[in-house]
Amino acid sequence: MISLLKRCCLIPILTSLTILISISIAKDSPEPPVAKKIPKKLTVHDHTRVDNYYWLNERTNQDVLNYLTAENEYLESVMAHTKPLQEALFQEIKGRLKPDDASVPYLKNGYYYYVRYEPEKEYPIYCRKKGDLSAQEEILLDVNHMADGYKYYQVRGVNVSPDSRYVAFGVDTVSRRQYTIHVKDLKTGEMLADAVPNTTAGSEWGNDSKTLFYTTKDSTLRPHKVWRHAIGEPNETDVILFHEKDNTFSVYLDKTRTGKYISIESYSTLSTEMAVIDADKPREAQRIIQPREADHEYYFAHKGDHFYIVSNLDAKNFRLWKTPVNKTNRDNWEEVIAHREDIRLQGVQVFKDFMVVQERKDGLRQLRIIFDKDGSEHYLDFGEAAYVAYPTSNYEYDTQTLRYGYSSMTTPQSTYDYDVNTRKKTLLKESEVIGDFDRNNYASERVFVKARDGAEIPLSIVYRKGMEKNGSHPLLLYGYGSYGASMEATFSSTRLSLLDRGFVYAIAHIRGGEEMGRHWYEDGKLLKKKNTFTDFIDCAEFLIAEKYTDKDRIFARGGSAGGLLVGAVVNMRPDLFKGVIAAVPFVDVVTTMLDETIPLTTGEYDEWGNPNDPEYYKYILSYSPYDNVEAKDYPAMLVTTGLHDSQVQYWEPAKWVAKLRELKTDNNMLLFQTEMEAGHGGASGRYTRLRSTALQYAFMLNLLNRGTL
């Protein structure tokens, strides 16, 4: 994080390309950095765009780094008076977190596994106990020690071998999501020489506990190869099992709950292909369940002699099939749950005597229990209007207990065990909110907003009780609306710092997500993408009309593809919001989607469209935030990025901010922060990342003339 003690000063003129940046900042009246314009013509389909800031895409160019640093220092200068408020917010948010928090232990292969934190430590400690929770603790990985000396450190894909002796895990020290897989011998405590670079972090073990499967990435960071590695053998002897040569597909590894099969999933936006390896015979070749077909997505679970397959074959909202494990061609599929127009079948978890079906209806998740013996079934009742519930940490196959997570906008994250026979729920843990938090002080609503074309958009709202709908309250509206990702109505302890200061918080479940079924996604992508933006605008206008807030107190926030959302919205309706927070925003859509060397591009043609096609080029160009910046007034904006972002390259928001500075006609605040040691997800430490939240909250409070203590 940048230091807010520093004030921006005159940047000296250096040699070479440093003259591209002209900065004039007076001590008492800071002026923003101004990036020099170097026109670059980009011609496609006989249409030429002129990109004056294309030069900012050179990550290692010192002149680019100087510009990013100047923007950071400008932010420091402008927000210097809010430093006490930011510190107070940081301490307040941090103070709600339990210093020695720990996850609920789960049982797997005779051990109870859990993750815990120690007071003032940034990173998790992975632990286990053998047989009983009263047994002596064994530390698998103490990430605090491992991260010593690194500015960024992230561990992912922690995976213990079936014989409980080895743990494989991935490490990223740059924040580009290129992980090196390491293996630790838990019997001796030694790190093995087995170290595989440039992986996804995920791995799966053969049941011999000596064979490890993993995936590597290509130059665009697309997972494209599946490998087999023998523990103790040099990497040079590793065998490629599968190479996904279609650059619109990526590969992923998983293992069934039964432990019988390892799956290789090859997936694109609209198509999947699954292959299986017998985990008891890890050196045998994989076999495909069903060859890939255009627009056919399917996923499977193993149960006894059958695979249960969730598929959208002639079923927009998906349906459930089963097929013998040795006869997986589609001709052998038998329907188990039919397609329904009003319910999205999201997945199944299978157990020895029952299955759990995950469904979504009216925007909310449902958990449905179906018993094998007689086909009887029931749904879990959660008793709140807006919530999220999902199976979690169910590693035991032969059990009568379902473990699930639950949260709502007023209920902290909770973990339950549910006896499927007696229907008894046992609360194992509710995340503790330190301090004077009382859920009874807050209220949530779920309303539906009529969009301009008649669609009913779910809107989840939370506020402190006693709030009168008189237009006097500030409100933060959040949205995403891409990839079919559903934004859940979950609890946030950090959000309390806004609610307790009179804010209303709302989530717009706009099209492009999948809250209302598959059609909700399809109506917010490709040539219907603008529905996402107009839905968000309609939700904001509803909140103003219903006097939850007013036009001088409403704020918008979106990140990544949600940054595209708010970027498009401020071009369409710059008058609608008091302020906008765009985190790691995907705003240079045309240029990025024309560049196949950039991570994610080819795999997302089915999401945004391929601009090499003139129809999609024209449509994307019509909403791409960077391409549509105009000479007009814009709201105050805070834009953030990470220098090492592998998903939305830092230069997209950098160019966008530079163009906004050039063209906007207002005097509203425009701030740009680049985290120089982070990527898409921000800082790696659990406390450090909270400073970014404190900055965002201070930004909004400052615009409400509440920027000081």
What residues are annotated to the active site?
560, 645, 680
C-alpha span between 184 and 168 (Å, rounded): 7
- Closest C-alpha among 438, 383, 436 to residue 410: 438
SS (H, E, C) 60-72: CCHHHHHHHHHHH
Q: What angle do CA 638, 676, 80 make, to 5 degrees?
A: 45
How far apart are the C-alpha atoms of 651 and 602, rounded to whole Å?
Answer: 19
Q: Which residues of 651-681 are buried (b: 16+ CB within 10 A; e: fewer)?
A: bbbbbbbbbbbeebeeebbbbbbbbbbbbbb
**Whole-number Cα distances in Å, 312 to 101, 144, 384, 581:** 41, 44, 30, 36
**Residues 481 and 562 sit within 8 Å (Cβ to Cβ):** yes
Q: Which amino acid belongs to residue 169?
A: F
Q: Which residue has the tokens 């999401």?
A: 607
SS3 content of the chain, % helix, strand, coil (to 5): 20, 35, 45
Report the distance separating Cα 444 and Cα 459, nearest Å: 11
Structure tokens at 521: 């996604």
CA distance readout (Å), 353 to 102, 110, 301, 307, 394? 31, 21, 14, 15, 14
Could you tell me which residues are beta bridge partners of residue 272?
Answer: 267
Distance of CA 52 to the CA centre of its chain: 31
Quote the radius of gyration of the chain (alpha carbons, Å).
26
Question: Residue 165 corresponds to which tokens in the numbers above?
Answer: 């002796």
- Which amino acid, one-letter code, is at 618? K
- Nearest one of 311, 347, 345 to 328, comparing CA atoms: 311
Q: Which stretches of 448-575 are DSSP H helices?
A: 496-499, 518-522, 530-545, 561-572
CA distance to 288, 312, 313, 314, 346, per residue, from 297 (Å): 14, 6, 8, 11, 12
Which tokens belong to 155?
């561990």
Q: What is the residue type of 435? A: G
Identify the CA nearest to 137 among candidates 113, 154, 117.
Answer: 113
Q: How far apart are CA 539 and CA 549, in angstroms?
A: 12
Q: Name the CA dihedral angle for 122, 128, 129, 134, rounded to a multiple of 10 degrees.
A: 30
Q: Which two three-digit tokens encode residue 534?
A: 């107009």
